[in-house]
Amino acid sequence: MPRALITGVTGQDGSYLAEFLVAKGYEVFGLVRGQNNPRVPAVRRVAPAVRLLNGDLRDLPSLIGALDAAQPDEVYNLGAVSFVGMSWRQAELTSEITGIGVLRMLEAVQIHTHNDMGRIRFYQASSSEMFGKVREVPQNEATPFHPRSPYGVAKTFGHFMTVNYRESYGAYACSGILFNHESPRRGHEFVSRKVTRGVARIAAGLEDTISLGNLESRRDWGFAGDYVEAMWLMLQQDEPDDYVVATGVTHSVRDLLDIAFNRVGIRDWARHVAQDPGLLRPAEVDLLVGDASKARSRLGWKPRVDFRTLIESMVDADLAATEREARSRRRVIS
Ligand code: NAP
Ligand code: GDD
């Protein structure tokens, strides 16, 4: 039975990856931070077989301890402060966890394996946010980076540290440069979920408006469930390498609003959207669209869920959640 350790198991990708690896017959361990993490019950619901270990990407001994306990064949480093908007307000914390945290995890593998790093296959969750002010369209593995946020800068550090450990110590270390991917499990702070949840609540009469920042930015949005398969495929190759994972199709935040509101029969959504200058970012990434030809040809990976299907499924899930919430409120009142 292969063994895997996932950092960030309580996040969106961590939960899909845990489910995916359990279904593949892995023994899966998940790193959880904090003494009473409120997201643990959700992990237990979707992947009850996962064994949870305490640890924090700010604490090297806890990472070594987790590796010693899990004895993994594969490590997926997904843990991060992942919300770009917050990274300006907490730049130091973001650098510490999202950037230096990668170095700590690599060092922990080095120590755990007694400098025989090739024994463990290591996946680093890199990001299209590293392309930032894009130098070419679409972006591929050779496109230069120009990060526009403290988060993007931290991810770029983690990316090159991963490459460096591969080149310096023979680590089997891969960096997945993943473009935005969403799902009904997405955090409420990200624009896709903020919109689909807002639309469901407006349709139920619970709210009237959604406050948003820049409606013109464009992203290459895919489905998280498809993307965790690419992470796994990267670690099954003969040689470690870096891969862009994307759909190759870009949409604006306006397109997202069109599809989400249409799903509940609202065509003129402008009266339900307030533009809040406070939600504009100090520096924006205007356009992301990825060229995943390398992942397609070498890994045999391709996305299965298109943008419309993805957003409609998120609206449907949020409508169902809103209905459940309303039912339980009615029960309490009666
Ligand atoms: P997410 O839902 O925000 O999950 C982040 C995870 O990191 C959570 O489990 C969180 O745990 C954990 N974490 C935060 N601080 C930590 C610390 N100090 N020590 C250990 N764990 C810590 O993010 P996601 O969307 O699943 O993304 C997974 C990874 O892929 C992240 O590294 C993200 O930056 C990267 N990425 C995501 C996308 C995307 O579109 N989703 C695209 C490219 C790259 P708590 O529950 O304790 O907060
Ligand atoms: N979050 C948010 N909230 N974004 C908004 C809003 C709003 O109210 N209004 C407009 N936007 C715009 C943002 O300015 C950005 O251009 C776009 O919507 C997407 O924002 P997010 O959903 O927060 O995602 P992101 O692209 O900044 O970052 C995500 O994708 C990266 C990969 O490119 C995160 O998952 C990162 O962790 C990931 O690395």
Given 3-state DSSP classes, what are the helix, strand and coil percentages for the chain, each rounded to the nearest 5?
A: 45, 15, 35
- Domain residues of the chain, as ranges? 3-182+220-245, 191-219+251-288+305-333
Angle 77-8-23 from CA coordinates, rounded to 5°: 85
pLDDT tens digits for 219-266?
Answer: 999 999 999 999 999 999 999 999 999 999 999 999 999 999 999 999
3-182+220-245: CATH number: 3.40.50.720
Residues 40 and 22: their CA atoms lie apart, in Å, by: 17
* DSSP secondary structure code for residue 144 in this structure: P
Q: Is the separation of the CB atoms in 117 and 165 below 8 Å?
A: yes
Q: Is the separation of the CB atoms in 156 and 98 below 8 Å?
A: no
Question: Closest ligand 2 atom, CA of 82?
Answer: 37
Taking CA atoms only, the protein residue closest to ligand 1 atom 3 is 82
CB 153 less than 6 A from any atom of ligand 1: no
**So what's the pLDDT on residue 328?**
84
Q: Does the bond joining 2 to the residue before it have cis omega, within 30 degrees of 0?
A: no
Tell me which residue of 258, 190, 182, 179 sits closest to 219, measured CA to CA.
179
The residue whose CB lies within 8 Å of the most ligand 2 atoms, and thus the one to mutate among 83, 87, 131, 191, is 191
Taking CA atoms only, the protein residue closest to ligand 2 atom 19 is 191
Which residue has tokens 């350790």? Answer: 5
Residues 118 and 122: their CA atoms lie apart, in Å, by: 9
Tell me the whole-structure pTM to 2 decimals: 0.98
The residue whose CB lies within 8 Å of the most ligand 1 atoms, and thus the one to mutate among 5, 9, 12, 13, is 13
Tell me which residue of 302, 328, 295, 231 sits closest to 7, measured CA to CA.
231
Ligand 2 center to 217 CA (angstroms) = 9
**So what's the pLDDT on residue 107?**
98
* DSSP secondary structure code for residue 133 in this structure: S
Question: Closest ligand 1 atom, CA of 79?
Answer: 7
Angle 253-207-266 from CA coordinates, rounded to 5°: 55
Helices 12-23 and 224-234 pack at an angle, to 10 degrees, of 60
Count of residues for the chain?
Answer: 334
Domain 191-219+251-288+305-333 has CATH 3.40.50.460: no
Q: How many helical (H) and strand (E) elements, i.e. helices and strands, does the chain have?
A: 11, 13
Residues whose CB is less than 8 angstroms from the CB of residue 91 and which lie 6 or more positions away in sequence, other chains included: 150
**So what's the pLDDT on residue 39?**
96
Helices marked H in the chain — which ranges?
12-23, 40-46, 60-70, 91-94, 101-112, 150-169, 191-203, 224-234, 253-263, 293-294, 307-333
Q: Is 127 a catalytic residue?
A: yes
Residues 124 and 163: their CA atoms lie apart, in Å, by: 10
**So what's the pLDDT on residue 330?**
80
Tell me which residue of 69, 73, 142, 63 sits closest to 100, measured CA to CA.
63
Which parts of the chain sit beneath pLDDT 50?
A: none
- What letters, b where the CB count within 10 A reaches 16 and e where it falls short, cover 272-292? bbeeeeeeeeeebbebbbbbb
Ligand 1 center to 80 CA (angstroms) = 4
35 CB burial (10 A radius; 0-12, 13-18, 19+) = exposed
Question: Closest ligand 2 atom, CA of 281?
Answer: 14
Q: Is the separation of the CB atoms in 162 and 272 below 8 Å?
A: no
Tell me the sheet residues that pair with 5: 29, 75
Per DSSP bridges, beta strands 172-178 and 181-182 are: unpaired
Q: Does the bond joining 138 to the residue before it have cis omega, within 30 degrees of 0?
A: yes
